[in-house]
Structure 1
Amino acid sequence: MTTSLDCLYSFRRCPYAMRARLAVLFAGLQVELREVTLKNKPAQMLAISPKGTVPVLRLADGTVIEESRDIMVWALEQQDPQGLLDTTILPQANTLIEQNDNEFKHWLDRYKYADR
């Protein structure tokens, strides 16, 4: 009997895909990792997530999770050996995530893709 693994579509340098991969790692879960070339997105990924962005997680039961924060929460709800969903630290973690997604990402993009 073979078990079908959950499948995570990812891109190596995408910060959102990075944190989805880290959550899977911290949770100690095994997934099939499919590295995506953004200029040539796989038809399988586009079929389950037409918006065409990464990360995308397709669970073995067919459920699709398309947002990195949702993938993080899903992974840690499966297994959270480091206690990252502990309600005493979760508000601080959410604040840091918000800061990363807004202020930091804004400036990171301007640094990476500067107009010269």
Structure 2
Amino acid sequence: MTEHHIFTMPFARGYPMYVQKAERKNRTRVEVDQIICWLTGYDAAGLQRQIERQADFAAFFAEAPTMHPNCALITGVVCGVRVEDVKDPLMQKIRFLDKLIDELAKGKAMHKILRQ
């Protein structure tokens, strides 16, 4: 089975898309960064390092300090697929991030996005 092309895509290429999606709905880059850091355990400097070194999505998630234990509470549909049903662990992490950014863009309160 071949890997999905997003696994080898640089995270730095996807990151601006997350920010643009949020900003189109009057949300901020700071909120996007907060979501990414909450999900992955990166701090702001660690996130910036990954962006600067052009880490692909596979490396970005493999090197994440720790996935937040509440990421298991992320449910719903992204691109017609239920995120909780995604079998590939890496694809599921990517879909978790997609779902959180979707929730941000839809105006959901940050404490709800972060499952607090």
Q: Same fold (TM over 0.5)?
A: no
* Bigger proportion of residues as helix: 2
TM (normalized to structure 1)? 0.28
Bigger Cα Rg: 1
TM (normalized to structure 2)? 0.28
Bigger relative contact order, structure 1 or 2 (CA pairs below 8 A, ≥6 apart):
2
